[in-house]
Structure 1
Amino acid sequence: MHPDLPAAYGTPESPGPELLTTDEMYRADAFAVEQGIAGRTLMETAGTALANAICDRWSPRASVILCGPGNNGGDGFVAARLLAERGWPVTLYLLGKRDALTGDAALAAADWQGDVLPLAETAMDGAALVVDALFGAGLTRPLDGIPAALAERSYDADAVIVSVDVPSGVDGNTGAILGTAFAADLTVTFHRAKPGHYLLPGRTACGELAVADIGIPDRSIEVVNPSAFHNSPELWGDAYPRLEDAGHKYGRGHALVVSGPATKTGAARLAARGALRGGAGLVTVASPEDALAENAAHLTAIMLAEFDGAPGLTAILEDRRKNAALIGPGAGVSSFTRARTLAVLRSGAAVVLDADALTAFEADQKILFDAITAPTVLTPHDGEFARLFPDLAEIDGGKPARARAAATRSKAVMVLKGADTVIAAPDGRIAINDNAPPTLATAGAGDVLGGFILAQLAQGVPAFEAACIGVWLHGEAATRFGPGLIAEDLPDMLPEVLEELEAYLP
């Protein structure tokens, strides 16, 4: 890897992009035990990784270890012993009775030679570092009592807060905050990250995330066969379209962006510029007659074609070289948009549907979904999603469950946008994106995203990977630009991002 690349590209030591739910992590642990690795060994290795992560970042200081009654608490006992052996002043508190501990946690507690104090609301008093080893990713009920009180105190604590697995109170599968949760400066998890580490609001509680190898064989991933992934170059690098020395523009696809009417054309041009910068060999804006002059005044490398209603779009797309199309930005919510969207879907081209092309089918979702036969990507924000999938807006399982269900129903790849965008495929795969800065909350940013995804489809990338690439590039470009971002800046940041990406990919 290029030594100067930012952390977003990963490191050679990074774990794979797979994200394990709590059940999948239990199965990975069980697989390790089946392979002859004792559970006590896994706990000792986890506690060692926790202690090492602390010592790598901070010097010895007054430390408090808050241990729960399960394996998370066992990890805390191991870390407490090791920190004490390294000269750290350690005080340990336990939720529950020491003699009630069982299994590997009881063995870890037996190795701790210091006092074990009952958990109290004053446990954090005077501490410079607090280890939250109370509850792990599998917690399903809200924190209450003393753990809840300590979690509330963590937000204003002067101490450094380190959480084990996830901050206690965060649902490891959905990122939901169960009543309240610890606010960690560092979260140390094991083997693979969990979806809740990247989903909001749990992500904000995690602080820095460190994923430690504790000796669970990587072959466990094949056994568990997870369907959730962290959206990163490691996930889709093999699908990323490389330039060829003997290549030409016609080999990189011809993308079509459908413009709205006069005075509503800017969104389509933003998307078209995103598609051209994103790698499409050719890009054409299809414009109604009343918007031709307006579009022509702003376009140079992007071509322009007039169309008249749905039949006009059908005629343009009869040229099979136009192999990917985007409709929705600035289109208007009308019967005209519905007809034009269906014409695009019938063309056989790969399709991105955004904004008005989604809302126009609010009352007739089935007509839209029945028309989806070619590779198609839908890019709703939460409001558009609720209009198109009203019965899925509040289903159990959080954002991943909503996106999965919608992708299955629509037979399209779902890009459920937000600061924690979830990309879902009809086959159940999801990718969670975490590189989108708050500066992307600006007019037109979603239109550019549609263009970035369109560019990948035009180059022949499968729909799920095309969506993942587009979403990641969008966040990375915004991060590079920084404060003051407007949508027009995003395509112009891509050359720098793409140059570094190509230096990273093998």
Structure 2
Amino acid sequence: MPHSDQILTAAQMREAERLLIDAGSSVEALMRRAGEGAAQWVWRMAGGRAVTVLCGPGNNGGDGYVIAETIRRRGGPVTVVAAAEPATAACRDARARYGGAVVDAEAAVHGEVLVDCLFGSGLSRPLSARDAALLGRLAAAHPHRIAIDLPSGVQTDSGMLLSPDLPQYDLTLALGAWKFAHFLMPACAHSRRLGLVPIGLGTVPDAAQAIARPTLRAPAADSHKYTRGFLAVVGGAMPGAAVLAAMAAQGSGAGYVKLFADSKRNVPADLVVDEGPLADVLGDDRNTAVLVGPGLGRDGTARERLAIALAEAVPVVADADALVLLGPRALAARAAPLVVTPHEGELVALERAFGLDGAGTRPDRALALATAAGAIVVAKGPDTVVAAPDGRLACAARGSSWLSTAGTGDVLAGVIASRVATGVEPFAATCEAVWLHAEAARLCGPAFTAGQLAEQVPAALAACL
């Protein structure tokens, strides 16, 4: 059965296509399926305006010829620019089936929509000077741009740019399955929108997943505040961060959020604060999850509070300062689930603490840390990756760049902890939270504060019911 959320490496994609061909399809048939599907998107964006398709010599170029022929048959104005003669049998077949004119790379071409079919997935070398100049010239001559499978000049599995000064695209259409470059920086920043064109691939075992809108349920009719999840939030030296996380948690599903703090000053009236001994707060057998780290501090008191939190036999979400204090010794006796939420600097610190060299792609690094720490890792940033010790991996679509403001990480930690507290399996709960966080940012619009972001979490959750 096709799986629309799987993310495949270049090697996995080749194997998935091979299985389709072994089952009776052909390269040419898959190319027509992909090209005709992509053409539907191009047709809608063009709206009858002139389309230019840049075709390379490989199978991505073949996709381009199919797109051009589909538009031509519909009566749309289309011009094909051939960067080179077809070099594969499937590309030659697609060009032979194209009934329109083909111009060479030196032709002066202008239009409204450029379709980049120069190179797709699997590229491992920079664009030649000639190809880079051609792509740049055509991009400048077209106000709207669509990349087919991947923008030309992008490394499929890492998201790295193989060539500098690549164009920006209004839309990138993944053919058959998502690739890591659709979600990883810096490549993902070159596409404003993403679309998927199915070609009938089956589910690939152990494939990474794209984080999609979760399906959530309202509380059962007989629910009460304790059955919906009881979350304890550990405060510290900077109480505002923990309050912010607790506010976000209140709107994310948990029925009861309790903040451990030294004072109730400047705390919302509807947030329960416990000023008693932390061991008593966390020893409450109604707790279903603990959040520790936002505003915790890094002194001896902070270390003690982290140790008490990690000693509890319920899931713990560790964020911010807790990540700086975390190491193998602190987790030696821990058996319950742990979620850690590092940004890049904290990820590097955790890699050092757990003896990792930080090599590989961002997913590689997240998986290595998840394995070493026995924790679910949320490597957060513009290209957020979630990894589990059992090898599960998920990537989030690039969210609003307005999230790059103080306190939004505390909000994410609160949402994760709340979803975990409701009893959802921790990896799934974490992926739900990442989506809710991004959706709340979208609902905020531009230039929001972390507090405004937390206020939008309930509306994001409502979109999933």
Q: TM > 0.5 between the two?
A: yes
Shift of 1:146: 1.5
CA distance in 2, matches of 1:367, 1:155: 54
Distance 1:297 1:127 in 2: 58
State which of 115, 118, 121 in structure 2 corresponds to 1:137: 121
Q: 1:123 offset after TM fit, Å?
A: 4.7
> Do 2:117 and 2:147's aligned partners in 1 also have CA atoms closer than 8 Å?
yes
Contact 2:340–2:377 under 8 Å retained in 1: yes
User: What pairs up with 1:300-339 in 2 under 5 angstroms?
Assistant: 300-307=269-276, 312-339=277-304
Match of 2:309 in 1: 344
Match of residue 298, structure 1, among 251, 260, 267? 267
The structural deviation recorded for 1:159 is 4.2
Whole-angstrom CA distance in 2 between matches of 1:123 and 1:130: 15
Alpha-carbon distance in structure 2 between the residues aligned to 1:392 and 1:69: 41
- C-alpha contact 1:272 1:285 (8 A) present in aligned 2: yes
1:177 partner SS: coil
Given candidates 335, 340, 346, the residue that maps to 1:373 is: 335
Please say if 1:102 is aligned against 2:88: yes
Which residue pairs with 2:239 in the alignment? 265
SS of 2:131 mapped into structure 1? helix
Is the CA contact (8 Å cut-off) linking 1:355 and 1:379 kept in structure 2?
yes
Is the contact made by 2:248 and 2:415 (CA closer than 8 Å) also made in structure 1?
Answer: yes
Residue aligning to 1:422: 385
CA-CA distance at 1:87 after TM superposition: 3.6
Higher helix proportion, which one?
A: 1
The one-letter amino acid of 1:170's match is V
Structure 2 residue 146 is matched with structure 1 residue 162: yes
Contact 2:341 2:380 in 1 (8 A): yes
Q: 1:143 to 1:435 in 2, by over 3 A?
A: closer
Unaligned 5+ residue runs, structure 1? 1-13
Distance 1:55 1:332, change over 3 A: same
Contact 2:72/2:100 (8 A) holds in 1:
no
Distance 1:496 1:70, change over 3 A: same
SS of alignment partner, residue 250 of structure 1: coil
Alignment partners' CA distance in 1, 2:22 and 2:100: 33
Amino acid at match of 1:498: L
Are the structure 2 counterparts of residues 500 and 115 from structure 1 closer, same or farther at C-alpha, using a change threshold of 3 Å?
Answer: closer
Contact 2:46–2:112 under 8 Å retained in 1: no
Opposite residue 444 of structure 2, the aligned amino acid is F
| TM-score of the aligned structures, taking structure 1 as reference length | 0.85
Q: Secondary structure at the match of 2:116?
A: strand
Correspondence for 1:9: none
Check conservation: 2:52, 2:80, Cα contact below 8 A: yes
What is the aligned counterpart of 1:477 among 440, 446, 450?
A: 440
Q: Relative to structure 1, is the Cα distance of residues 179 and 320 closer, same or farther in structure 2, using a 3 angstrom cutoff?
A: same
Structure 2 Cα separation of the partners of residues 313 and 469 of structure 1: 29
Q: Deviations over 1:147-188 (max 9, x none)?
A: 222343455333432221111112222222112334322322
Q: CA RMSD in A?
A: 2.4
> Which residue does the alignment assign to 2:455?
492
Q: Which residue of 2 is the match for residue 191 of structure 1?
A: 176
**Which of 395, 402, 405 matches 2:359?**
395
Task: Give the letter for the 2:239 counterpart.
Answer: T
CA distance in 1, matches of 2:108, 2:228: 59
Among 190, 206, 230, the residue aligned to 1:205: 190
SS of corresponding position for 1:280: coil
Q: Secondary structure at the match of 2:372?
A: helix
Pick which of 49-58 and 411-420 moved more. 49-58
Partners of 1:15 and 1:157 lie apart in 2 by 37
Q: Is contact 1:335-1:360 (8 Å) kept? A: no
Which range moves more in the overlay, 157-166 or 423-432? 157-166
Q: Deviations over 1:284-321 (max 9, x none)?
A: 2112xxx32xx2452423222234xxxx4333322221
Question: For the residues of structure 2 that align with 1:415 and 1:19, how far apart are their CA atoms?
Answer: 17
Tell whether 2:57 aligns with 1:69.
Answer: yes
Aligned to 1:58: 46
Distance 1:491 1:116, change over 3 A: closer
Whole-Å Cα distance in 2 between the matches of residues 137 and 449 of structure 1?
32
User: Does structure 1 residue 111 correspond to structure 2 residue 78?
Assistant: no
Cα distance change, pair 446–24 in 1 and its aligned pair in 2 (3 A): same
**Which of 410, 428, 432 is the equivalent residue of 2:373?**
410
Q: Deviations over 1:231-256 (max 9, x none)?
A: 122xx53xx46400011111012211
For the residues of structure 2 that align with 1:184 and 1:436, how far apart are their CA atoms?
A: 16
SS at match of 2:413: helix
Match of 2:172, SS? strand
TM-score where L is the length of structure 2: 0.92
Distance of 2:108 and 2:167 partners within structure 1: 12
Distance 1:159 1:497 in 2: 33
Q: Partners in 1 of 2:114 and 2:142 — Cα distance? A: 10
Aligned to 1:44: 32
Corresponding residue pairs, total: 461
CA gap 1:282/1:130 in 2 versus in 1, 3 angstroms: closer
Unaligned runs of 5+ in 2: none
Between the aligned partners of 2:288 and 2:196, the Cα distance in structure 1 is: 41
- In 2: Cα distance, 1:123 partner to 1:378 partner: 54
1:245-284 to 2 correspondences below 5 Å: 245-261=221-237, 264-284=238-258
**2:464 is paired with a residue of what secondary structure?**
helix
Equivalent residue letter for 2:127 = L
